[in-house]
Structure 1
Amino acid sequence: MDKRYIYAGIFIGMLLVMALITVILLFTLLWNNKSVNGSKLVIDHDGGADDAMAIFIALIHEEYFDGPQVVALTTTFGNVYEPQAFINTQRILNIAQRRNIRIYRGSQTPFIDGIETDYYYGLDGLGDSCEAEYEPILPQPDHAVHALLDLSIKHEGNLIIVAIGAMTNIALAVKMDPLFISRLSKLYVGAGFVEGPDHQDAEFNAAMDPEAYYIVTKNANPNKVMVVPFSQVYSSMNLTRKWRESTLGVIPTKMMEVQNCFERVSMSGNYTGWTQLDPAVMALALNDSLVEEIKYSNNSIILCGDKRSINTNEFTSVSEANVALLYSGNREHYQELLMNTFTAELDQT
């Protein structure tokens, strides 16, 4: 046989083997990483039961709904002090069986002064002694602020940040690099009130570090930053406690079992409604069909005097605004999302 045919056959065989290896590598990468160029998600949180639910929602959406890949959790203070938030982050990831997610420890104190935690979710933030045992996860060596900056560069245009605690880490990132927000796909700020008859005081997350909130909104623009105020979640996405306990709460999964325990302190009060800011912010970040009405605002916060930490809003056009503000959400769609999320595991069996 002509040697040219032999060499040609060997060459074609090598090409086929290389093509097969390439296909296998790409399949493995896609399987483990969901999508090469897909959205990435960082959750900046303060370690409470509401944060736990928000994190669970994000992880379930990544696994079952092709949601953004959760690339990091960053810790701050609020519901608990940051050292406890770090402990709680480990507990949450152990329960979710996602120990592979990197934890970056963040700010422990506000820029100047804030408020004390109210221990709304218990002394440990997670219902006190619920699933207290966990296998330790070492934090990454970098501070959360450096991680936020590095990830915004690495995933420029694809990185979503959901900030559901004090805004200190986000504000420090802005101060260190004024282009930080411009590189994001979106920043969701779960904080603040739109002043009204039911909300004339300071909102918890905003009041934790008013200067940080001021820095973030001062450097924001409405194409990149959506503020989700607690007042608007309360007025348009509030669910009943009865539904939370007897419908959502009876879903027979490990995550819902521990989530019920995490909320047992907050659920001990005599309330008829169930309003949780952090899961609502995460739901809005993952599914924009929950958005009913957005208003564009020059949004800020008062830093001095007896109205310190009170939010201000000057509603205006998109060209004059600094943030897009969630003014109302769809209660029914939110309820449906929660049910679909926490039953997703059951649907796979």
Structure 2
Amino acid sequence: MMEFSKYKFWFLIPILAIPIAVSDNFIVRERPSADIHIEGPKLIIDHDGGADDAMAIFMALIYEQYFNGPKVIGLTTTHGNVDETQSFYNSQRLLDIAGRPEVPIYRGSNFSLVISVPSDFYFGHDGLGDNDHEEIKPIDAQPQHAALSFIELTNKYPGEITIVALGALTNIALAIRLDSTFISRLSHMYVAAGHVYSPEYSSPEYNAEQDAESYYVIAKNAYPEKITFVPFSQVDSLNVSKEWRQDVLGAIPTKIINSLNKFERISMNASDSLQWSLLDPIAMGIVLNKSIVSDVKYSKNSIILCGDRRGINTNEFTIKEDANARLVNGVFKEEYQNLLFSIFSAELC
């Protein structure tokens, strides 16, 4: 009988280790093959379970229903505002409120690739304002890990799926490492993370810092036709007032707006600022209606991984041919507000 050296299959170790590295809740199962084919543009929303994610998710679901927008074919969960377990629960809660329990949920990673950053609980410990709420009917997670769902769904629908990344970027980086052709099969990916460095924005942006190595993996594999970064620094100056958020948008008499008002209960009182600025709804607004974008630049975009500047983004603005990504450099305030109001009042018409 042939004798096998203990070193003979060393090259399999990284492959065998993938399920452990991906997530503590990851179990490999075979998915049923009788899925229904979905026509038209599609969205997958990768999120970290906060009130800002909730607004973005509701925007996409409403836009699909009332504006013939892209079909939301999945929510994928990651860590950030809350841990992945809470993000999964919040996904169920949001779909219950929206009356969309059929939307698949794919559970993702609860840990960064290298260094996990603790949450600041900006939106409360549950990410949704720490409010009492009625029990919801549970929605089972899909059998695939989020990273594997990206690969499988883009193989099934090449060129038809847009991913909107709203939290730590771990799931997406894992998909890239598992399948280097994954990005090429996307329609596009919008990454709501990072800053353009300046004296005012000289510290790491929250989503980018949550998993700096994953941000690096995405930037390393990015190209402008497929990847657009939406840096918080470039849209933070919209100066939408808290008064408008509370008295205009917040006064729309719907179940979803009432829920969002409760979800932002803690964050609205977290600072003395009179401005209301959430990155995730802006990013989703850009995805749904690109006319709200006032300026786009091309950049050699990356992130610093070492030293006291870890998590700081680097950008070398250049021509498209030399860039690795598009970068949203501004958004029209009035157009953005009008978009929000039209979306969240749609069911009243």
Scaled by the length of structure 1, what TM-score is found?
Answer: 0.88
Are the aligned partners of 1:57 and 1:282 in contact in 2 as well (CA < 8 Å)? Answer: yes
What SS does structure 2 have at the residue aligned with 1:201?
coil
Residue from 92, 104, 107 that aligns with 1:105: 107
The share of aligned pairs that are identical, in percent, is 52
Q: Which position in structure 2 is the counterpart of 1:9?
A: none
Paired AA for residue 123 in structure 1 = H
Paired AA for residue 328 in structure 1 = G
1:260 aligns with 2:261: yes
**Cα shift at 1:259:** 0.3
What SS does structure 1 have at the residue aligned with 2:203?
coil
User: Aligned partners of 1:302 and 1:42: how far apart in 2?
Assistant: 28
Are the aligned partners of 1:188 and 1:226 in contact in 2 as well (CA < 8 Å)? Answer: yes
1:226-270 CA-to-partner distances (Å, cap 9, x unmatched) read 0000111102x3311010011000000000000000000001132
What SS does structure 1 have at the residue aligned with 2:75?
strand
Structure 1, 265-274 or 167-176: larger mean CA deviation? 265-274
Paired AA for residue 43 in structure 2 = L
Q: Which position in structure 1 is the counterpart of 2:240?
A: 239
Q: How does 1:276-287 map to 2 (within 5 A)?
A: 276-287=278-289
Q: Which position in structure 1 is the counterpart of 2:121?
A: 119
Q: Which position in structure 2 is the counterpart of 1:173?
A: 175
1:103-146 CA-to-partner distances (Å, cap 9, x unmatched) read 00001100100321000000100000243521111101111111
Unaligned stretches of 5+ residues in structure 1: 1-32
1:55-93 CA-to-partner distances (Å, cap 9, x unmatched) read 000000000000000000000000000000001000000
1:271 aligns with 2:273: yes
Q: Which position in structure 2 is the counterpart of 1:129?
A: 131
User: Aligned partners of 1:204 and 1:194: how far apart in 2?
Assistant: 13
Q: State the structure with more CA Rg.
A: 1
Aligned pairs, number? 313
What SS does structure 1 have at the residue aligned with 2:322?
coil
Residue from 295, 306, 312 that aligns with 2:308: 306
User: Aligned partners of 2:199 and 2:210: how far apart in 1?
Assistant: 22
CA RMSD of aligned residues (A): 1.2
What SS does structure 2 have at the residue aligned with 1:239?
coil
Are the aligned partners of 1:91 and 1:132 in contact in 2 as well (CA < 8 Å)? Answer: no
Scaled by the length of structure 2, what TM-score is found?
Answer: 0.88
Q: How does 1:35-184 map to 2 (within 5 A)?
A: 37-131=39-133, 133-184=135-186
User: Aligned partners of 2:176 and 2:256: how far apart in 1?
Assistant: 34
Unaligned stretches of 5+ residues in structure 2: 1-35
What SS does structure 2 have at the residue aligned with 1:136?
coil
Q: Which position in structure 2 is the counterpart of 1:11?
A: none
Are the aligned partners of 1:106 and 1:144 in contact in 2 as well (CA < 8 Å)? Answer: yes
Paired AA for residue 134 in structure 1 = I
**Cα shift at 1:291:** 1.1
User: Aligned partners of 1:206 and 1:222: how far apart in 2?
Assistant: 19
User: Aligned partners of 1:239 and 1:299: how far apart in 2?
Assistant: 28
Question: Which of the two has greater helix per residue?
Answer: 1
